[in-house]
Amino acid sequence: MPTQRPPPTQRPPLKQRPPPTQRPLPKQREAKAAAEAKAAAEAKAAAEAKAAAEAKAAADAKAAAEAKAAAEAKAAAEAKAAAEAKAAADAKAAAEAKAAAEAKAAAEAKAAADAKAAAEAKAAAEAKAAAEAKAAAEAKAAADAKAAAARRRAAAGAPDNPFTPGAFDMVLYFGVADASLSKAQVNRLDRYQRSLHHRGTGCAVRVDCYADRLGKAKTNDELTALRCTRVYEALLRLGVSADRLETTPHGERQTPGPDNTTNGRARIAGLRARCAAR
């Protein structure tokens, strides 16, 4: 191919000189100043508007934050008050439940104590009634035995008070102010009751007890009664039935012989048996 030649070099265009500076005219200066003043006023107004908007936004944000904080504080206070009210209600309910439980326990304890006291009083009354009934039955049995002995004596033709002082089958001597029986005296009573079947059938034994005149009469009455009781109980234990025994304490008003307090002849229990012939 044929070689192409480069295009010829083009020269740059010549710079044109600016036209010579011209001074603005007065009206132009006024217009420019007015435009600048207007631009400055508009810039100032825009800046003020921006500042006002920013201040308003800041105030709104502050008010919103304060409102939020107030709402949160109010909610926290209400939650705290509700929690405290609930805690107070729970404490009151627990105290009332505790008081009710304690009152119930006290009432149950009182009822149990009252029931126990009533049961004990009833048991004591029943025991007292039983003891009184037993004592009455024993007294009646003793009275019946005494009456039966009197009837047997009457049937045998014996007087109701057949004993005379000094006329006894056996005599037991007691110490001063004493009503106890020694072992030897109990053995004598045993031999005496064993000998009764040799004397007849249905033997009734009368025990007369005496005291000396030392001391008070009332004390001597009690002492002779106790001596008769001791002999009576010993004969019961030895096998003599109660309906065949009769005791008569005389105290110091009647003695079986001379009141010789030195040798104790007045402090005696005299036994005499009355038996039907075989």
Question: Tokens 């004390």 label which residue?
Answer: 219
* pLDDT score, position 62: 95
- Cα–Cα distance, 170 to 172 (Å, whole number): 7
Query: What is the DSSP code string of 53-75?
Result: HHHHHHHHHHHHHHHHHHHHHHH
Kindly provide the b/e burial profile for residues 40-69, where b requires at least 16 CB atoms within 10 angstroms of the residue's own CB: eeeeeeeeeeeeeeeeeeeeeeeeeeeeee
Please report, for residues 27, 87, 88, 177, the alpha-carbon distance to residue 94 in angstroms, rounded to integers and kept in the order given: 97, 10, 10, 74
Confidence at residue 131, expressed as pLDDT on a 0 to 100 scale: 80
Question: CA end-to-end span of the chain, whole Å?
Answer: 201
Higher pLDDT, 42 or 135: 42
Q: Per residue in 142-173, pLDDT tens?
A: 556 555 555 554 444 444 444 344 457 889 99
- Answering whether pTM is above 0.85, one says no
Q: Please state which of the four CATH numbers 1.20.120.1200, 3.30.1330.60, 3.20.20.70, 3.40.50.2300 is assigned to the domain occupying 156-276.
A: 3.30.1330.60
For CA atoms 107, 108, 112, 115, give the dihedral sign. positive
**Which stretch, 16-20, 22-26, 62-66, has highest mean pLDDT?**
62-66
Residue 196 CA to residue 191 CA, distance in Å, equals 9
Domain ranges of the chain: 32-129, 156-276
Read off the tokens for 263. 């040798």
The pLDDT-based confidence of 94 (bands split at 50, 70, 90) is: very high
